Structures are given as C-alpha cells and as structure tokens.
C-alpha cells in the first residue's frame, strides 16, 4: 500500500517536471525568436538609413550639377569664349572651361605648368594630375575657373 501512495505524488511531480520543461523550452524558443526579429529589424533600419543617405547624396550631386549648369549658362551669356563645364564630386566644385583669345605656345604652357616625367602613373598626386590637365588645356588654347 505504501508503494501505491507514493506512485501518485511521484507521477504528479514527474508530470510537472515534464510540463515545466516544455514551458521552459517554449519560452527559450520564443526569446530566441524575438532576438532574431530584433536583429532583422536593426539590419533593415540600417539598410533604410543607408538608402536615405545615398538618396540625399544623389540629390545633392544632382542639385550641384544643376547649379553648375546654371553658372555655365550665365557665363556663356556674359562671355563669348565659354567652351564647356564639368562638376567634380571629389572637390565639390564646378569648373567652367573657356577658350583663350591668344593661344600660348607649347613651351609657354610647359613653363607655366611643368610636367615631372619621373613620376609613375600610380604615384601621381592630385596636384600633379591637375598640372598635367592644365598643361594639356593650355596647349589646346583653353583654361578653366572653378566655382
């Protein structure tokens, strides 16, 4: 009889442990699922922010190009020697290219914008590249102003 009295409480304890284990496992699974959802939301928010920044950058560049075009049109009306325009994103500047009235000789251009032939193309600085560009433009009878 003693064994029969113990079987019921042991069965109840055993059932409670099993039910408790299932409840605990489901809570752990629920918590992990919530953490995964939070990570997905954070990643989505980062992507949205990145997209917004990219769109703002594109809009800024488009606005600056439009401003540059307006400057070009104003300079064309003001001067008769305007050739072309360009917008440089790296320096955030607008460049208007003009034609020289009096074209300089090649030696004058080389004197104004000397070229250093010892540099390899990989090691050229921005200033050296600008000097090369100015030298070539000078030889073509052009110059530029930045705005």
What's the pLDDT tens digit per position in 27-64?
999 999 999 999 999 999 999 999 999 999 999 999 99
Task: Decide: 82 and 75 in contact? Cβ < 8 Å.
Answer: yes
Q: How confident is the model at residue 103 (pLDDT cuts 50, 70, 90)?
A: confident
Distances in Å between the Cα of 46 and the Cα atoms of 40, 43, 54, 141, 147 are 10, 5, 12, 50, 35
Q: Is 92 left (phi over 0), alpha (psi -120 to 50) or beta?
A: left
Q: Please report the pLDDT score of residue 99 as a whole number.
A: 94
Q: Where are the alpha helices (DSSP H) in the chain?
A: 2-78, 106-112, 126-139
Tens digits of residue pLDDT in 62-88: 999 999 999 999 999 998 899 999 999
Q: 24 is written with which tokens?
A: 């605990």
What pTM value is reported for the model? 0.65
Q: Please report the pLDDT score of residue 85 as a whole number.
A: 95
């Amino acid at each position: 009889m003693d064994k029969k009295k113990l079987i019921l409480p042991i069965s109840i304890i055993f059932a409670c442990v099993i039910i408790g284990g299932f409840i605990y496992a489901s809570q752990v699974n629920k918590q992990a699922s919530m953490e995964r959802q939070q990570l997905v939301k954070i990643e989505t928010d980062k992507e949205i922010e990145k997209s917004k920044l990219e769109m703002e950058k594109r809009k800024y560049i488009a606005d600056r190009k439009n401003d540059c075009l307006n400057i070009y049109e104003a300079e064309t009306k003001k001067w008769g020697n305007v050739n072309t325009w360009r917008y440089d994103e790296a320096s955030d500047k607008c460049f208007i290219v003009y034609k020289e009235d009096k074209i300089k000789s090649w030696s004058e251009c080389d004197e104004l914008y000397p070229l250093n032939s010892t540099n390899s193309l990989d090691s050229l600085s921005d200033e050296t590249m600008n000097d090369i560009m100015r030298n070539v433009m000078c030889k073509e009878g052009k110059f530029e102003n930045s705005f």
